[in-house]
Amino acid sequence: MIFMGFLWLRKIFFFVWEESKVNFYFYFLRTFDKIFWIEYTINIIQIVLTILNLVIIRFYIDQKTSPNLKLWKILFFIKIIFDLLGNTYEKHLLFSAFHLSPFAGIQVAFRMTIPWLISYWMWYEYAFISPKTPSNLLTE
């Protein structure tokens, strides 16, 4: 939970900090053409959905049930869509690494996805399997 919170804070920090490469990237896109405000907005929505990731992890760890699991199921799919659409800076970084060498691209892809796969798994298990009986992988 602390690690995911750190990743979320890091993502927000680099998005809003004026000296960061991510902020400069979106600033450049927004000033170049108004159509890129769509990518900027998608990235903001993706960051907000990442906050919900922390809520799900907390529910999962505490084995709390939500009164509306249907909402969490819908938000799970929305999160996947916005994670694929909302990370334009990260996608360009990944494509650049693959252009450098396939091995570098695989390393960057591995480092970018592994931390988030655990939270996806928790969210999926919480919303679709059963919040009352999470797997014992975290408690063993």
Examine residue 135 and state whether it is found in any structural domain, yes or no. Answer: no
Instruction: Give the pLDDT of residue 5.
Output: 66
- Token pair belonging to 48: 């907000």
Residue 35 in domain = yes
Residue 23: which of 38, 52, 44 has the closest Cα?
44
Is 80 exceeded by the pLDDT of residue 81?
yes
Count of domains observed in the chain: 1
Distance (Å, whole) CA 94 – CA 56 = 28
Q: What pLDDT, on the 0 to 100 scale, is given for residue 103? A: 92
Range of the structural domain that residue 42 is part of = 2-129
**Cα(87)–Cα(65) distance, integer angstroms:** 31
- Taking a C-beta distance cutoff of 8 angstroms, is the pair 56, 126 a contact? yes
For residue 120, is it within any domain?
yes
Contact assessment for residue 26 and residue 40, using Cβ atoms and an 8 Å cutoff? yes
Residue 119 domain-assigned (yes or no): yes
Distance CA 135, CA 37 (A): 41
Residue 84 within any structural domain of the chain = yes
Task: Give the predicted TM-score (pTM) of the model.
Answer: 0.64
Predicted confidence band at 137 (pLDDT cuts at 50, 70, 90)? very low
Cβ contact 13:6 at 8 Å: no
Cα separation, 137 vs 92, in Å, equals 34
Stronger pLDDT, 136 or 56, i.e. the higher one: 56
Mean pLDDT of 50-63: 81
In a domain, 140, yes or no: no
Please check the confidence at residue 140 and state whether its pLDDT lies above 60. Answer: no
Is 134 inside any structural domain?
Answer: no
In angstroms, the CA 140 to CA 88 distance is 37
Asked if residue 40 belongs to a domain, the reply is: yes
